Structure 1
Amino acid sequence: MIALEKASRPLKGDVFVPGDKSISHRSIMFGAIANGTTEITGFLESADCLSTIDCFRKMGIIIDHSMRPSNGVPVITVHGKGLKGLSAPKGTLYTGNSGTTTRLMSGILVAQDFDCNITGDASIEKRPMNRIIKPLSQMGADISSVMGNDCCPLHIAGGKKLRGINYRSPIASAQVKSATLLAGLYAEGDTVVYEPALSRNHTEIMLSAFGVDIHNEVARDGSAAAILHPGMPLKGIRINVPGDISSAAYFIAAALVVPGSELLIRNIGVNSTRDGIIRVLKQMGADITLLNYDDSQEPKADILVKYSELTAGANGKFEIGGKDIPTMIDELPVVAVVAACANFDTVIKDAAELRVKESNRIDSVVENLQAMGCDIEATEDGMIIHGGKSLHGADIKSYNDHRLAMSFAIAALAAEGTTRIVDDRCVGISYPSFFKDLQSLL
């Protein structure tokens, strides 16, 4: 448990956050099935990403950690063995709390020549896996839920011949899309994944850099399509992982809830499929500026955020929904905290996906904000936040959900009294140094 008090002064200074979790996962996986070595700088050494490293080491991939002699920068080197170079693991592959590892790795493993089992912690064993089982099975894979409940543990029987498919995903999910596309690397014929809106496209960008023939386009019906043409081997590359916008989000929010604050958050990935929090908060009137923009490989920039009086618009409320949701799904808990500190109503909708994250993030956010004195109600696909009420300290249940723990650490900065966060160690899933970094600004 960690205890936090209301910020006694404005937050000022430069902030550096760890590397992007989504990109870090993919750099290991894609490097493992590439020919030659892949060198990664800026890698996020969190529990989730270390789970990915552990799984691929168990399948015979050598992954080194060293320092670059010229500047002392940490480098992860993945010695790839090609598309079919993985070896059968001796036991079950354990993915910890990582849904990304579980789902994306499944797309690779259904095409291998060996059988394997995948499972994770108690949270992973409750998260829906039928969303990947369905398209992978349509491709000819033999993948099943061991308990028959569409959740982990998963069993994958190897040696199956895959075929490319046109798959219409009912949700915009980068994990579903990526698992299907990765299986498509091994399939006969093209693989096309259609989504109602474009989910984060790190897989498409990175696979293209590895030499794969893949691209995004808008389909005739307005859906987002990712199209992969198989047949090209992956070749090892150098990857510089930018800072994670999901981690930067907490400091963006902190500057907006603590009067007088001004923070410069350095070298953050601002991919247009991930920057919804910036666009939405700017629509609310937040003073956020991108500096030193660089669009080579993954777009990145420094983010300057200044305390701002947020506004709702003509009808007295602000709505967040539709195509914005996939671009900020992981940031919605901390956006709810910002909304609770505003003087107007905020409606978050079209976000039912929050119910099947590490926790039920709709119910858990509502429960904890209510404990802090916020007038908030849950809906089936989001929440309604009636701003304008002062927050007070409370005992916060993190439900072992890293994004809840960090979001309510930010809420504590605006709340009178002491806020205690139970099970704060879960931040190690994505941002091990979060509390240290936050304390350095107080």
Structure 2
Amino acid sequence: MSCTITVSASITATAWANSFSRARVPPTDVESAQIVEPATRIAGELRVPGDKSIAHRVLMLAALAHGESRIAGLPDGEDVAATVACLRSLAVKIDRIGGPARVHGRGWRSFSPPHGPLDCANSGTTMRLMLGVLSGSWVSATLDGDASLRRRPMGRVVDPLRLMGASIQSKDGHAPLTVTGARLQGRRHVMAVPSAQVKSALLLAGLSASGPTSVVEPVATRDHTERLLRAMGTDVHVAAGTVEVRPSHQPLRPIELSVPGDFSSAAFWMAAAALRPGWSVAIHEVGLNPSRTAFLRLLESMGAEIQVDADNTGVEPHGSVTVTGRRLRAVTMGAADVAAAIDEIPAILIVATQAEGTTLIEGAAELRVKESDRLATMSEGLRRMGAVVDERADGVTIHGPAKLRGATVESKGDHRIAMALAVAALVASGPTTIEDADCVAISYPDFFTDLQGLAK
């Protein structure tokens, strides 16, 4: 198997290095198009980049704490680099010289007005969570991003923040967003659509509000924010689908944390191993937060063999996962299943093409407002490769098993689409060209290097 460069123009993933003075060498260049050859076998073990969901949150909370936080295992991707850049623009001191990142937190009142817009690049998490952080601060700032981020809906976080007293101006519920710090009042928020980003933004805003802030979720979402808040001394209560924070007169405590590997990144290697009987991949030091591991249960229900060695000590569970391919069968996923594995759906779609029977996924309309319309982009790519896919407003149906063929497919600039289609290419009958493959630098700059190491 090989990943052959077909287009000479490239984007170097240097954003992370630029965000730290004297940071380590930038990750490997990723070309704008990649050819992936079919594999005869997938085997090996590896570690994946640090979990960016955790990284965004711990960086922001460390900036709000009083004292020096030390954070090991931060990923090199462009999304986390955007969060670092935004915080530094607010005069938060962050450095990393030959070891863990050090964040010198001085609380909300230490923020300085930025000299220009805070560039969130392609990171929706950065934009939504920073809205929560800034709503109760003493500064005014404009949050902006690239064309893709400007298309993503922000009204779902802007509206509830305004109910707390936040002053936010938006362009029809989209970026750019101008937020002016204000006195906030805690409220009870009932969410119609499950979103860990919106929940986290409201909880972050609640830290500076008068009175408790609670969020009622229709379906439980990832709980990284709640875990970190508890570890840093915040009063957090979770019961009956409701998360509540009570503001304290005491500042957040600084934290020492080693960020585990990103489960959503690891999911692509798990999916690759599941595609053929006997293929096997082990991923070490990966995050195993129960709110993130629904994908393992889905893979197991589809027939894959799963072995987990977990360490539940510390703020975030972590450990090793080994996936071995067995005969696959179709599954049916409803809205709750989709919410529990929202970032892994592209990987699930790839596995479904090789499963016996019809895989039905419903309640997945949220995927249409990610970095791309993931339902449409995945359906288009898989059809080009020969899969039988029926697309609906809120989901897809995949008829398997399909004999995939090599094709030219488009990522639409979506890192998860690029990685998913690369995995599909491993079982195609010929080479597959993935356009805009450089977008993997958003979360996993060395993805194609690791792909070469596993494919035989």
CA distance in structure 1 between the partners assigned to 2:205 and 2:326 by the alignment: 46
CA distance in structure 1 between the partners assigned to 2:34 and 2:316 by the alignment: 35
User: In the alignment, does 2:179 pair up with 1:156?
Assistant: yes
User: In the alignment, does 2:199 pair up with 1:177?
Assistant: yes
Q: Which residue does the alignment assign to 2:318?
A: 300
Amino acid at match of 1:47: E
Q: Which residue does the alignment assign to 2:66?
A: 35
CA distance in structure 2 between the partners assigned to 1:125 and 1:285 by the alignment: 40
Kindly tell me the number of residue pairs found equivalent between the two proteins: 422
User: In the alignment, does 2:39 pair up with 1:7?
Assistant: yes
Q: Which residue does the alignment assign to 1:345?
A: 358
Paired residues of 2:276 and 2:326 also in contact (CA < 8 A): no
Give the secondary structure class of the aligned counterpart of 2:122. coil
Please list, as runs of the form range in 1=range in 2, the aligned pairs for 1:16-415 lying within 5 A after superposition. 16-67=47-98, 74-145=99-170, 147=171, 149-158=172-181, 160-218=182-240, 224-231=241-248, 232-312=250-330, 318-415=331-428
Change in 2 beyond 3 A, CA 1:298/1:335: same
Amino acid at match of 2:392: T
Give the secondary structure class of the aligned counterpart of 1:108. helix
Could you list the per-position Cα deviations for residues 207-235 of structure 1 after superposition, in whole angstroms to 9, with x for gaps in the alignment? 111111113211xxxxx111101013101
Paired residues of 2:355 and 2:400 also in contact (CA < 8 A): yes
Paired residues of 2:221 and 2:340 also in contact (CA < 8 A): yes
Give the secondary structure class of the aligned counterpart of 1:297. coil
TM-score, with structure 2 as normaliser = 0.91
Which structure 1 residue ranges, 5 or more long, are not aligned?
68-73, 219-223, 313-317
Shift in Å at residue 132 of structure 1?
Answer: 0.5
Paired residues of 1:265 and 1:302 also in contact (CA < 8 A): yes
Paired residues of 1:344 and 1:387 also in contact (CA < 8 A): yes
CA distance in structure 1 between the partners assigned to 2:443 and 2:387 by the alignment: 27
Give the secondary structure class of the aligned counterpart of 1:123. helix
Shift in Å at residue 292 of structure 1?
Answer: 4.0
Give the secondary structure class of the aligned counterpart of 1:140. coil
Give the secondary structure class of the aligned counterpart of 1:152. strand
CA distance in structure 2 between the partners assigned to 1:79 and 1:136 by the alignment: 27
Paired residues of 1:83 and 1:233 also in contact (CA < 8 A): no
Shift in Å at residue 296 of structure 1?
Answer: 2.5
Give the secondary structure class of the aligned counterpart of 1:172. coil
Amino acid at match of 1:2: Q
Give the secondary structure class of the aligned counterpart of 1:84. helix
* 4+ long deviations beyond 2 Å: 292-296
CA distance in structure 2 between the partners assigned to 1:75 and 1:84 by the alignment: 25
CA distance in structure 2 between the partners assigned to 1:50 and 1:270 by the alignment: 24
Paired residues of 1:258 and 1:413 also in contact (CA < 8 A): no
Amino acid at match of 1:190: P
CA distance in structure 1 between the partners assigned to 2:233 and 2:311 by the alignment: 25
Paired residues of 2:50 and 2:74 also in contact (CA < 8 A): yes
What is the CA RMSD across the aligned residues, in angstroms? 1.0
Amino acid at match of 2:219: A
CA distance in structure 2 between the partners assigned to 1:75 and 1:301 by the alignment: 20
Amino acid at match of 2:132: G
Paired residues of 1:12 and 1:262 also in contact (CA < 8 A): yes
Amino acid at match of 1:281: L
CA distance in structure 1 between the partners assigned to 2:430 and 2:212 by the alignment: 58
Amino acid at match of 2:345: L
Give the secondary structure class of the aligned counterpart of 1:153. strand
Could you list the per-position Cα deviations for residues 35-85 of structure 1 after superposition, in whole angstroms to 9, with x for gaps in the alignment? 001100111111000000001001001101122xxxxxx311100011322
Amino acid at match of 2:73: G
Amino acid at match of 1:144: Q
Paired residues of 1:272 and 1:327 also in contact (CA < 8 A): no
Among all aligned residue pairs of Structure 1 and Structure 2, give the percentage whose two residues are the same amino acid: 43
CA distance in structure 1 between the partners assigned to 2:385 and 2:132 by the alignment: 42
Paired residues of 2:387 and 2:399 also in contact (CA < 8 A): yes
CA distance in structure 2 between the partners assigned to 1:61 and 1:193 by the alignment: 28
